[in-house]
Structure 1
Amino acid sequence: MTVNSTLSYFILSTYIDVGDLKYFFFVITALLYIVIIIANTSLIVVICMNRSLHEPMYFFLCSLFVNELYGSTGFFPFLLIQILSDIHTVSATFCYLQIFCLYTYVHIQFCNLAVMAYDRYLAICCPLQYNTRMTSNKAFIIIILIWLYSFVKFVITLSLNIRLSLCGNVINSLYCNNYLVVKLACSDTTVNNIYGLFGVVLTIIVPLFPIIFSYATILKICFAGSEQTRQRALSTCTPHLFSLINFSFGCVFEISQSRFDMSGEPTMPRIILSLYFLLIQPLLNPLMYGLQMTKIRNICKRVLCHMLAARKDTMEVK
């Protein structure tokens, strides 16, 4: 697969000249990226190293955290370079690669959240059948299928994009956006548009069915059940629901901004909101799940206490 030889780079037009403030933005962005790496990696290690967490729910969480590292790595290093750069260009090859990375990240995230909703449905609504209907092996197979399916789906998207003849190279965004690249085409985009619509249905609409069904059934059980049932459901479902609503808000705004003219809106809030689903989701998810999930919270406390005790013993020896 080769990139259109008539176009070697794209210009990202949304970046604004902030003078020496760019160093401040660089430091803040770098710190956010470091926190995201540390928080997500820590929870992945905690889940992998503790056998008590080797359950389907925690495997899905691990997949969620790995995906957040994957999406952040496809975006943050690029953003850091662009913040310090005076010329905001990106090679066509890297632009298509970033499109692939960010779009697979979004698709995997929605699929993960859908599967996690179904997992909570089985645990709360069908507790006696849970251990047979959702085993660790089934969870691994589901995770592998989610990742493979997402990669194959967007390889097709990328193949359709690369064949287009483009009449411009200015993208009105902070990063490469599939829809905005297709808008630059001066060749027929009918196939791209049809597959793009099909892709939106597969990425957003299809995962919504298990999510809506699962949480509607859980709420029904909560209202009809005892106080203990309600507390258990709320303690396990609150992080999932918050994560879903938070991520959906960010994606809806980004889709709206890329498809409608919002140039009349204030620049800085528009820039921040366009980055919302890439900044906030991987930052808040590990903190939220780490605090809300009792098992993870207790294990993290034990690990932290052990580290502090070991540090104290080392200082006493010295």
Structure 2
Amino acid sequence: MSAPLFDAESLRMGPPPDPARPEAGTGTGSTGGSPVDPLDPTVRPRREIPEPTPLSSHGPATVLAMCNQKGGVGKTTSTINLGAALAEYGRRVLLVDFDPQGALSVGLGVQPHELDITIYNLIMERRVTIDDVIRPTGVEGLDLLPSNIDLSAAEVQLVTEVGREQTLGRTIAPALDRYDYVLVDCQPSLGLLTVNALACADGVLIPLECEFFSLRGVALLMDTIEKVQDRLNPELAITGILATMYDPRTLHTREVMARVVEAFGELVFDTVINRTVRFPETTVAGEPITRWATRSQGAQAYRALAREVIAR
């Protein structure tokens, strides 16, 4: 088995840093020459991210699993808005709702309980093709594989199947040549559905709420990723860690962010998603924030994240 991806001890919460300590130091922040606040790790030198170049053709797709076994960390919100931002840059994107709760579908204006055919039918019924299930969204270049509560039965039914961990990969394979990115919104657990997503993914994007309990769960997720790398998908890599629900006004949030940066270094995206009332509004509206509040701070943040994802 490969070496651990990080030292779990580095994620332990220590005493808050003392801003009066001279060894905290200063440096060049993302604002271009301003001192770095040792209590605000988001103020750090920004990496040069080139503007995405236009594409003359599409595919094959890079598959990214949006994964964190803790719920409420902004996973679905990030899937929707990153997908929409990638589409703005001319990328063709398929969003896969792989959570029986169907939150991704709801966030794009689809009512899961009204669907006659979903990804559940696609993975469990041979007569159903991927074109039967893919739905366009209100964003050009952004398509959806919807889900509903039926998918919860798949986890039980797949247990006896041969090659059960590869089911999702076989399912989406016929569509990969049409898209540049496939974003899989995983359920908040480390069960068979999540393992399926990791087994077919090129990378894992980890939304991480800047809160202590979310930080503790990262060790379990990393252990699962290492097992999948070792046994199912040696090409799987961590694309990046996205800090979400960041509130610079609280010391706890900044301290958690500091531990994440200390443990994962360059894997942590420069982009940080701040708390804002705009995100709940977009869920009600059934639209990405890039369309609902196109000039908002949240929309700009996800566009910056899209540039980082393309660059990686």
User: Does the alignment reach a TM-score above 0.5?
Assistant: no
TM-score by length of 1: 0.24
Bigger radius of gyration, 1 or 2?
A: 1
Higher-helix-fraction structure: 1
Higher strand share goes to which structure? 2
- Normalised TM-score (structure 2): 0.24
